[in-house]
Amino acid sequence: MDETVSMDSQSPTPELLVWAYRQGIFPMFDSRTRRIEYFSPDPRTILPLEHLHVSKSLQRRVRSERFELRSDTRFEQVMRECAASRRGRRETWIDERLLSAYCGLQELGLAHSIEAWRDDALVGGLYGVHLGAAFFGESMFSRPELGGTDASKVCLVRLVEQLREARFELLDVQFTTPHLERFGTLEIPRELYLSLLERALAHEAPWTSG
């Protein structure tokens, strides 16, 4: 079951986020209470880097080069798109405090975005935190009304390719969702997750923006 960590709903700073992620903890904004809560789920969901499942239709989408893929050119915009209300989802787990803290991490080179562009418009993307040889996926979005159908999925495929190339050891996606299950996510006990995290943090893997 999910576990809330008692941190007195501390306002996030880049330094606090680095500490929290190293302990297997991440923040979420509760739109009902207007508080920021901290979580360490058990079980925890990861996406094994060597066992990514990509459907044939998505393989065709990737090969079509429909999108221009970039990295770290519009990090804040990606976060704001992830926070925006969408059809079927009115609540968000991102507020201005979190946005500011993650943008601070990005300035330190510890958070990154993968972006899908089409006709000079940002139509999809994802972002996450990078510590050692671990990447913590936070959120993703697509704008199908702008021609961005499957854009977030293409970004995820590119992310995994990049992490593999750079010898990352862990891709944490926090919770299981139907969207992510299609890619082969795996739920593991928190104790095992923390062991994998400790090992990944002991090594350094590079991130190449472009």
| Residue pLDDT, tens place only, 101-142 | 999 999 999 999 999 999 999 999 999 999 999 999 999 999
For the chain, give the percent of residues with pLDDT over 70. 91
- The per-residue pLDDT of the chain, averaged, comes to 92
- Decide if 151 contacts 184 (C-beta within 8 A): no
User: Rounded to an integer, what distance in angstroms lies between the CA atom of residue 137 and that of residue 157?
Assistant: 13
186-188, strands of its sheet edge to edge: 68-71, 111-118, 121-131, 134-142, 170-174, 44-46, 186-188
For the chain, give the percent of residues with pLDDT over 90. 81
- Decide if 79 contacts 102 (C-beta within 8 A): yes
The mean per-residue pLDDT over the stretch 141-166 comes to 96
Give the pLDDT confidence of 38-89 residue by residue, as tens digits.
Answer: 999 999 999 999 999 999 999 999 998 899 999 999 999 999 999 997 655 5
* pLDDT value of position 33: 84
Burial group, residue 121, by CB count within 10 angstroms (0-12, 13-18, 19+): exposed
Cα angle: 132, vertex 133, 139; to 5 degrees? 95
User: Rounded to an integer, what distance in angstroms lies between the CA atom of residue 186 and that of residue 117?
Assistant: 30
Q: Which residue has the higher pLDDT, 34 or 206?
A: 206
Burial group, residue 126, by CB count within 10 angstroms (0-12, 13-18, 19+): buried
